[in-house]
């Protein structure tokens, strides 16, 4: 969690979905450091979100935890209802929750199973929460929504996993641009499109992917959850008040290398 004297999000209520680890955890901590009261969401990892909320409070911030399955309509309704009961609204929504199809048992699922999981959580939940909460923000006079895409969705990448993420995150990116048109000028909607970010999959990826991640960024390194969190903090802040309807790549500068070596036959290209 960043330490700073700046409190540009003071008096704001921020919802961060999928905040039990990785990028979501980093974003929640960063927004709390900026002064926001943060609703820390997870599907079922109660210990993880409670630990993060305790950490935020220990540093002088404010946080509440909320468990809900956003792949289900009932879970999405529960999130909205509880936040409005607790705080009578929210001014920031970060739709970070996404299906993990790269690690654990899900890595062995079939293509249709993975597609369904991504579509329910990454796409449908993002769309429905953005529309419901965005409408309430607009009626209240202001707010900021930040969605999470993928930088590879617009340029393409080989492999089944890349096709899955391109379909899901490409939909989120296109939706974000259109929603911004509907909610302006009261509510801003932007989308961050991270590249190679070293979350759980990246930490255990083979040497091939370690090398490729570094080669495909002009920064010459993996991105970190903290890199994403700092960008997110800026985009939902008043300092970004003239940035709207944008999809912003976050990849250190994509380093195009024509004809990269093929991936090992047993390894699926993925980010």
> How confident is the prediction along the chain (271 residues), in pLDDT tens digits per residue?
554 458 999 999 999 999 999 999 999 999 999 999 999 999 999 999 999 999 999 999 999 999 999 999 999 999 999 999 999 999 999 999 999 998 889 999 999 999 999 999 999 999 999 999 999 999 999 999 999 999 999 999 999 999 999 999 999 999 999 999 999 999 999 999 999 999 878 888 889 989 999 999 999 999 999 999 999 999 999 999 999 999 999 999 999 876 555 565 555 554 4
Instruction: Give how far Cα 267 sits from Cα of 94, 107, 152, 199, Å.
Output: 31, 11, 18, 18
**Which residues in the chain belong to E strands, given as ranges?**
13-16, 37-42, 62-67, 92-95, 143-148, 187-194, 247-250
User: Which own/partner contact pairs does 22-25 have at CB distance under 8 Å and 24+ positions apart?
Assistant: 22/199, 22/200, 22/225, 23/96, 23/148, 23/194, 23/197, 23/199, 23/225, 23/228, 23/229, 24/94, 24/96, 24/97, 25/52, 25/225
pTM for the predicted model, two decimal places: 0.92
Structure tokens belonging to residue 232:
């997110």
Domains and CATH numbers, the chain: 13-250 (3.40.50.720)
With contact defined as beta carbons under 8 Å apart, do 172 and 120 qualify? Answer: no
């Amino acid at each position: 969690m960043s330490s700073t004297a700046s409190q540009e999000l003071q008096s704001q209520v921020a919802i961060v979905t999928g905040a039990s680890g990785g990028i979501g955890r980093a974003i929640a901590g960063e927004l709390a450091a900026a002064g926001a009261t943060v609703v820390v969401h997870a599907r079922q990892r109660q210990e993880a979100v409670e630990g993060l909320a305790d950490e935020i409070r220990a540093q002088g911030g404010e946080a509440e935890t909320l468990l809900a399955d956003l792949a289900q309509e009932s879970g999405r309704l529960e999130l909205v209802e509880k936040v409005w009961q607790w705080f009578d609204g929210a001014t920031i929504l970060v739709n970070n929750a996404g299906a993990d199809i790269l690690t654990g048992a899900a890595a062995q699922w079939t293509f249709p199973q993975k597609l369904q999981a991504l579509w329910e959580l990454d796409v449908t939940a993002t769309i429905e929460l953005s529309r419901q909460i965005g409408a309430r923000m607009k009626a209240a006079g202001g707010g900021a929504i930040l969605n999470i895409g993928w930088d590879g969705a617009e340029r393409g990448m080989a492999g089944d996993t890349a096709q899955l993420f391109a379909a899901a995150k490409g939909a989120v990116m296109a939706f974000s641009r259109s929603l911004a048109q509907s909610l302006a000028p009261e509510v801003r909607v932007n989308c961050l499109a991270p590249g190679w970010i070293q979350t759980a999959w990246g930490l255990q990826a083979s040497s091939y992917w370690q090398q490729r991640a570094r080669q495909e960024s002009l920064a010459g390194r993996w991105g970190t959850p903290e890199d994403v969190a700092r960008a997110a903090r800026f985009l939902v802040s008043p300092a970004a008040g003239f940035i709207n309807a944008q999809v912003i790549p976050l990849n250190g500068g994509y380093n195009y290398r024509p004809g990269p070596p093929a991936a090992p036959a047993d390894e699926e290209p993925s980010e």
